[in-house]
């Protein structure tokens, strides 16, 4: 696992945005060979999206041959619901770039057939050869997407019961009313996530410090699903200073030294 330590949330957003744009451009996507991008929702990626949109507006990146899969969706909310993740990703990102609307896939939270919806989502990802780059945030309890503590590390796209902690955190999008936050969500699984060719997880803020500690210094543990990054051959954890407060000083120095050495390697 590669770990990037940066000073602020703004620096993290800039770094991730530039990395995403660089990876897509280096891939040279075409209509026959599109770049497949996995994206999160929520507060964490919002400045990253703003930075990417700015780069798109300055003609540094096109999404014409990019396929996007989002990671999760509240169960019971239609795509027209302004609090749905379908609405979020379109309002905050999709509507500002040149991606064809048919290239954007979001789980249908209003489905009447959960099992089939989840199965088809998995099959659609596989039909494109898998996700080339998946971006994600992390919950304060270490969850990735909506894979709450205790989720199987071999899990696939499915419906999950949301913890009270997650619902409290997400209540900010529901007028701070936890009773309005859905109790269930559809989410890609940990195994689905780990099949991505490359993964970037963004961790910012003091409330993510314990999760960052578990990811870097802890052992692989289904109670901290972020630790699954240790199983992936090409995962990157990008942190601001506040999110590193629970780490040992020698841990930070070790990864900082590794990053300096990485910059001297030419492939």
Tokens of 26: 């280096």
Sorted by sequence, the CB contacts under 8 Å of residue 228 that are 6+ apart come out as 144, 153, 190, 193, 194, 220
Q: Spell out the alpha helix ranges (H) of the chain.
A: 9-27, 46-57, 85-92, 114-127, 164-170, 190-194, 209-217, 249-262
Cβ of 72: how many Cβ atoms within 10 Å? 23
Read off the DSSP letter of residue 154. T
Tokens of 168: 């409290």
143 is catalytic: yes
Count how many residues are written for the chain: 267
241 is catalytic: no
| List 117, 143, 195, 240, catalytic entry | 143
Cβ of 58: how many Cβ atoms within 10 Å? 8
CB 65 within 8 A of CB 222: no
| List 72, 117, 132, 240, catalytic entry | 72
CB 232 within 8 A of CB 150: no
123 is catalytic: no
| List 73, 117, 132, 148, catalytic entry | 148
141 is catalytic: yes
Catalytically active residues, by annotation: 72, 141, 143, 148
């Amino acid at each position: 696992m590669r770990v990037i330590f940066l000073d602020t949330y703004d620096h993290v957003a800039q770094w991730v945005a530039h990395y995403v744009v660089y990876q897509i451009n280096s891939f040279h996507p075409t209509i026959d060979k599109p770049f497949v991008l996995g994206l999160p929702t929520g507060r964490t990626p919002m400045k990253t999206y703003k930075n990417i949109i700015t780069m798109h507006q300055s003609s540094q990146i096109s999404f014409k041959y990019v396929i996007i899969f989002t990671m999760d969706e509240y169960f019971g909310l239609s795509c027209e619901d302004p609090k749905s993740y379908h609405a979020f990703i379109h309002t905050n990102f999709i509507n500002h770039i040149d991606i064809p609307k048919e290239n954007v896939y979001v789980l249908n939270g209003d489905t009447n057939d959960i099992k089939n919806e989840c199965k088809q989502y998995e099959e659609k990802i596989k039909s494109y050869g898998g996700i080339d780059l998946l971006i994600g945030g992390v919950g304060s309890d270490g969850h990735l997407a909506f894979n709450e503590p205790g989720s199987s590390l071999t899990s696939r796209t499915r419906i999950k019961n949301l913890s009270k902690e997650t619902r409290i955190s997400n209540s900010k999008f529901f007028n701070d009313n936890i009773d309005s936050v859905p109790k269930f969500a559809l989410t890609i699984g940990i195994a689905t996530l780990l099949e991505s060719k490359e993964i970037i997880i963004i961790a910012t803020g003091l409330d993510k410090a314990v999760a960052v500690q578990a990811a870097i210094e802890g052992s692989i543990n289904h109670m901290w699903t972020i630790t699954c990054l240790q199983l992936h051959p090409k995962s990157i954890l990008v942190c601001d200073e506040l999110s590193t407060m629970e780490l040992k000083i020698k841990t930070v120095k070790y990864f900082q030294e590794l990053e300096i050495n990485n910059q001297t390697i030419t492939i």
